[in-house]
């Protein structure tokens, strides 16, 4: 592959192509790590804003509650109103999906490299 040829951000090399060099793989891994971090920051920001708005608690407590919900631990502060309870419920459902999505995005390049390497090894054995 020439240096001038650009790779689309979410494309991976085909199974018939050679394994990506380690330097470019680390670069890809850093990009996917950045995407994962952005997903976490957005999710945490939404939770922090929601807890601050619906429960009327200080920003640091809102951040704390959002962090604990996002990691699956559960809220710290009691939910005083029905609106707060609804927000906490929907944010908890969203957080479960967001956390799994973030993990999937982060581990995608690793899984692809492992499967690509196994496929290349299968071709060596069959030849």
CATH numbers and ranges of domains, the chain:
22-126 (1.10.287)
Give the contacts of 59 (CB within 8 A, at least 6 positions apart): 48, 52
> Phi, psi (5° rounding) for residue 10?
-110, 25
pLDDT for 95-108, tens place per residue?
A: 999 989 999 999 98
pLDDT for 32-90, tens place per residue?
A: 999 999 999 999 999 999 999 999 999 999 999 999 999 888 878 888 899 999 999 99
Decide if pLDDT at 15 tops 70. Answer: yes
Q: What is the pTM of this model?
A: 0.74
pLDDT of residue 112: 85
pLDDT of residue 1: 47
Per residue in 41-74, is it b (16+ CB within 10 Å) or e — as a string? eebbebbbebbbebbebeeeebbbbbbbbbeeee
């Amino acid at each position: 592959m020439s240096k001038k040829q650009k790779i689309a951000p979410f494309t991976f090399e085909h199974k018939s192509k050679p394994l990506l060099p380690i330097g470019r793989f680390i670069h890809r891994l850093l990009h996917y790590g950045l995407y994962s971090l952005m997903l976490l920051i957005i999710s945490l920001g939404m939770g922090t804003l929601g807890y601050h708005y619906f429960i009327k608690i200080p920003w640091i407590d809102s951040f704390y509650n959002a962090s604990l919900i996002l990691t699956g631990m559960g809220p710290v502060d009691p939910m005083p109103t029905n609106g707060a309870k609804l927000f906490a419920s929907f944010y908890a459902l969203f957080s479960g999906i967001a956390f799994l999505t973030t993990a999937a995005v982060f581990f995608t390049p690793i899984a692809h490299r492992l499967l690509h390497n196994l496929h290349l090894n299968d071709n060596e054995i069959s030849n």
